[in-house]
Amino acid sequence: MSLLVVGLSHRSAPVSVLERASLNPDAQGKLLQDTVAAEPAAEAAVLATCNRIELYADVDKFHAGVAELSTLLAQHSGVGLEELTPYLYVHYEDRAVHHLFSVACGLDSMVVGEGQILGQIKDSLARAQDLHSAGRLLNDLFQQALRVGKRAHSETGIDRAGQSLVTFGLEQLAAGGDVETWARGKKALVIGAGSMSSLAAATLARAGVAEVVVANRTIDRAERLAQILTEGDDTDVLARAVPMESVPAELTRADIAVSCTGATGLVLTAESVAAAVEGRTGQPAAEIEDDRRTESRQDALPPTSVGNDDNCPLDLAAVQPGFSVMGEAAVAGMDAATLEQHAAWVAGGTVDRREGARSGPEADAELIGALAATAATVGRIPERRRPQPVDEPQRPEPVLFLLDLAMPRDIDAAVHRLAGVRLVDIESLAEASAGAPMAADVDQVRRIVSDEVAAFGAALRAAHITPTVVALRTMAADVVASEIARLDGRLPGLDDKHRAEITQTVRRVVDKLLHAPTVRVKQLAAEPGGAGYADALRTLFDLDPETVAAVSRAEDSTTQKDRGPA
**Does the annotation list 194 as a binding residue?**
yes
- What's the 3-state SS for 293-331? HHHHHHHHCCCCEECCCCCCCCCHHHCCCCCCCCCHHHH
Mean pLDDT of 125-129: 95
Say yes or no: 200 and 230 in one domain: yes
Q: What pLDDT does residue 235 have?
A: 77
Strand partners, 47: 54
- Alpha carbon of residue 65 to chain centroid: 19
Q: What pLDDT does residue 379 have?
A: 58
Q: Is the pLDDT of residue 149 over 90?
A: yes
**Does the annotation list 205 as a binding residue?**
no
Q: For residue 304, is it within any domain?
A: no
- Domain final residue, candidates 146, 162, 178: 162
Which residues are marked as active site?
50
**Does the annotation list 116 as a binding residue?**
yes
Q: Range with the lowest mean pLDDT among 1-10, 45-54, 107-116, 382-391?
A: 382-391
Q: For residue 310, is it within any domain?
A: no
Q: What pLDDT does residue 140 have?
A: 93
Say yes or no: 256 and 136 in one domain: no
Instruction: Give me the domain span that covers residue 18.
Output: 2-162
Q: What pLDDT does residue 563 have?
A: 47
pLDDT higher for 534 or 517?
A: 517
- The count of structural domains within the chain is 3
Q: What pLDDT does residue 376 have?
A: 64
Taking each continuous run of H as one helix and of E as one strand, the counts in the chain are 22, 12
**Does the annotation list 305 as a binding residue?**
no
Mean pLDDT of 536-545: 78
Q: Could you give the CA distance from residue 268 to residue 399 in angstroms, rounded to a whole number?
A: 16
Q: Is the pTM of this model over 0.85?
A: no
pLDDT higher for 561 or 421?
A: 421
Alpha helices in 322-440 (DSSP H): 328-331, 336-347, 361-378, 426-433
Q: Could you give the CA distance from residue 73 to residue 62 in angstroms, rounded to a whole number?
A: 16
Q: Range with the lowest mean pLDDT among 5-19, 102-116, 261-275?
A: 102-116
**Which sign, positive or negative, has the C-alpha torsion 148, 149, 153, 154?**
negative
- Containing H/E element for 72? helix 62-77
Q: Range with the lowest mean pLDDT among 62-71, 264-273, 322-331, 334-343?
A: 322-331
Say yes or no: 247 and 189 in one domain: yes
CB contact set of 76 (below 8 Å; sequence gap of 6+): 23, 27, 30, 31, 34
Mean pLDDT of 292-313: 40
Q: Encode burial over 372-384: b for 16+ CB neighbours within 10 A, e otherwise.
A: beebeeeeebeee
Q: What pLDDT does residue 467 have?
A: 79
Say yes or no: 81 and 12 in one domain: yes
Alpha carbon distances (Å) from 549 to 363, 554, 559: 75, 9, 15
Q: Could you give the CA distance from residue 392 to residue 381 in angstroms, rounded to a whole number?
A: 31
Q: For residue 380, is it within any domain?
A: no
Mean pLDDT of 341-358: 51
Confidence of residue 3 (pLDDT cuts 50, 70, 90): very high
Q: Could you give the CA distance from residue 430 to residue 435 in angstroms, rounded to a whole number?
A: 9
CATH of the domain at 186: 3.40.50.720
Q: What pLDDT does residue 316 have?
A: 44
pLDDT higher for 151 or 164?
A: 151
Q: What pLDDT does residue 121 have?
A: 95
- Domain final residue, candidates 162, 185, 207: 162
Q: Is the pLDDT of residue 391 over 70?
A: no
Confidence of residue 333 (pLDDT cuts 50, 70, 90): low
Q: For residue 290, is it within any domain?
A: no
Residue type, 196: M
Confidence of residue 381 (pLDDT cuts 50, 70, 90): low
Q: Is the pLDDT of residue 8 over 50?
A: yes
Q: Please write the tens of the pLDDT for every residue from 437-448.
A: 555 678 889 999
Say yes or no: 187 and 222 in one domain: yes
**Does the annotation list 109 as a binding residue?**
yes
Q: Is the pLDDT of residue 147 over 90?
A: yes
Q: What pLDDT does residue 350 have?
A: 43
Q: Please write the tens of the pLDDT for every residue from 213-269.
A: 999 999 999 999 999 998 877 778 899 999 999 999 999 999 999 999 988 889 999
Q: Is the pLDDT of residue 331 over 70?
A: no
Q: What pLDDT does residue 299 have?
A: 39
Confidence of residue 431 (pLDDT cuts 50, 70, 90): confident
Q: Is the pLDDT of residue 302 over 50?
A: no
Q: Is the pLDDT of residue 356 over 60?
A: no
Mean pLDDT of 470-494: 86
Q: Please write the tens of the pLDDT for every residue from 504-517.
A: 999 999 889 888 88
Q: Is the pLDDT of residue 304 over 70?
A: no
Residue type, 441: D
Angle between helices 165-173 and 426-433 (to 10 degrees): 90
Q: Please write the tens of the pLDDT for every residue from 40-57.
A: 899 999 999 888 999 999
**Does the annotation list 52 as a binding residue?**
yes
Q: Could you give the CA distance from residue 557 to residue 441 in angstroms, rounded to a whole number?
A: 40
pLDDT higher for 303 or 519?
A: 519
Q: Please write the tens of the pLDDT for every residue from 155-180.
A: 988 876 556 788 888 989 998 789 99
Say yes or no: 21 and 149 in one domain: yes
CATH of the domain at 79: 3.30.460.30
Q: Is the pLDDT of residue 15 over 50?
A: yes
Say yes or no: 256 and 133 in one domain: no
Taking a C-beta distance cutoff of 8 angstroms, is the pair 185, 209 a contact? yes
Alpha helices in 175-283 (DSSP H): 179-183, 195-207, 219-231, 247-253, 270-281
Q: Is the pLDDT of residue 345 over 70?
A: no
Say yes or no: 510 and 497 in one domain: yes
Q: For residue 356, is it within any domain?
A: no
Q: Is the pLDDT of residue 9 over 80?
A: yes
Q: Is the pLDDT of residue 482 over 70?
A: yes
Say yes or no: 45 and 143 in one domain: yes
Q: What pLDDT does residue 109 have?
A: 84
Say yes or no: 150 and 30 in one domain: yes
- Domain final residue, candidates 123, 147, 162: 162
> Could you check whether the bond before residue 303 is cis, i.e. omega within 30 degrees of 0?
no
Q: For residue 435, is it within any domain?
A: no
Q: For residue 294, is it within any domain?
A: no
Q: For residue 364, is it within any domain?
A: no
Q: Is the pLDDT of residue 4 over 70?
A: yes
**Does the annotation list 523 as a binding residue?**
no
Mean pLDDT of 510-530: 79
Confidence of residue 330 (pLDDT cuts 50, 70, 90): low
Say yes or no: 68 and 173 in one domain: no
Strand partners, 243: 216
Mean pLDDT, all residues of the chain: 80
Q: What pLDDT does residue 51 have?
A: 85
| % pLDDT > 70, the chain | 74
Say yes or no: 254 and 151 in one domain: no
